[in-house]
Amino acid sequence: MNKEELTAQLKVIIKPYTTNTDAYENFTEDTDFIKDLNINSANLVDIILDIEETFDIVIENTDMERMLDVKTSVVIIETKLAAK
Amino acid sequence: MIGNDVIDIIQSRKESNWQRKGLLEKIFTAEEQLLINKALQPEIMVWLLWSMKEAAYKIYNRQTKIRSYFPQKLECSFRFQNDSYMSGTVICCGNRYYTKTNITNDCIHTIAVINPDHLKKVIEIEKKNISKDQYGIPFLTSVQSDSVKDVSVSNHGRFEKVVALSFNDCPLSEPD
């Protein structure tokens, strides 16, 4: 799976937790989950769990700490997929 | 310094499923999971602990400017409890924060401070004269003294809470 496909899949995962539709439509790799998409911090853990289920990977706490934006999340998912 | 977090239980039921497989293990320490398992109302305990973590994190973020998602590193414990509130501490990366939580009518509201004496000095204020700095941290623009500039804003569902510390010798705002 390439970076574009991965980002597109992440965008689908994030949709139900987003309350800012404008920012969601303008989704880029710089999009911040909390600052831009207004995602409730209690739902960030749902995104992490959805990522684990969708890609069949395990996100460690040290990775989770940094998963506040699209770019970092994609890099982490890529690294985990490559290590499988 | 001050941080606060409000949770609307009705709203949380629409947004979150705290019983989702694997969720509690990602967010809570082993001790906290034990508190949740033993609680008469596990749902309330989940959101009580979460609001403590959020309120404390707001101070940590104000102090360090570090943004991070590390709920397990905000370790909660309780100090005192009576009919009207619960007090506790949250330890994060060697910092200690003191919390006070009120639970009424589906509303959980936690205030965090760095000095336990400051819990008595917390006041709710109107949401006005508030700006955010480059890190997105809110402050009051109407006061001169640095010591009372901190303000914390929290919204969830039907509730909004805006809190600041009020020191007697330094009034928060001039009378109109």
* pLDDT for position B145: 64
Q: Please determine, for residue B172, whether its predicted confidence score (pLDDT) is greater than 60.
A: no
From A75's Cα to the closest Cα of chain B, the distance in A is 16
The predicted model scores a pTM of 0.92
- Tens of pLDDT along B56-92? 999 999 999 999 999 999 999 999 998 889 999 999 9
Cβ distance B26 to A49 less than 8 Å, yes or no, reads: yes
Question: Rounded distance, CA A57 to CA A44, Å?
Answer: 16
Nearest to B154 by CA among A45, A41, A23, A18: A41
Task: Give pLDDT tens digits for B110-147.
Answer: 999 999 999 999 999 999 889 888 888 998 887 766 55
CB B150 within 8 A of CB B2: yes
- Domains defined for chain A, CATH in brackets: 3-83 (1.10.1200.10)
- Chain A residues within 8 Å of chain B (Cβ atoms): 35, 40-46, 48-49, 52, 61, 64-68
Q: Shortest CB distance from A65 goes to which of B22, B27, B70? A: B70
Is B54 within 8 Å of chain A by CB? yes
pLDDT at B168: 59
CB-based contact A68 B68, cutoff 8 Å: yes
Chain B CB contacts of A64 under 8 Å are 26, 69-70
Is residue B134 within 8 angstroms of chain A, CB to CB?
no
Instruction: Give the torsion sign (CA, A63, B19, A41, A75).
Output: positive
ipTM of the predicted structure? 0.93
| Eight-class DSSP state of B145 | -
Domain limits, chain B:
2-119
Q: Quick one: B38 exposed, middle or buried, by C-beta within 10 A (0-12, 13-18, 19+)?
A: exposed
Q: What is the mean pLDDT of residues A53-70?
A: 97
- Which string of DSSP letters, residue by residue, matches B97-142? EEEEEEEETTEEEEEEESSGGGGGGEEE--S-SEEE-TTS-EEESS
CB contact under 8 A, B136 and A35: yes
Q: Sorting pLDDT into bands at 50, 70 and 90, what band is A26?
A: very high
Task: With CB atoms and an 8 Å threshold, state whether B23 touches A46.
Answer: yes
Q: CB distance from B72 to chain A under 8 Å?
A: yes
CATH superfamily entry for domain B2-119: 4'-phosphopantetheinyl transferase domain (3.90.470.20)
- Would you state the pLDDT for residue A1? 82
Do B69 and A35 make contact, defined as CB atoms within 8 angstroms? no
Q: How far apart are CA B26 and CA A64, in angstroms?
A: 9
Give the span between the Cα atoms of A59 and A64, in whole angstroms: 6
Q: CB under 8 Å to B32, separation ≥6 — which residues?
A: B49, B75, B76
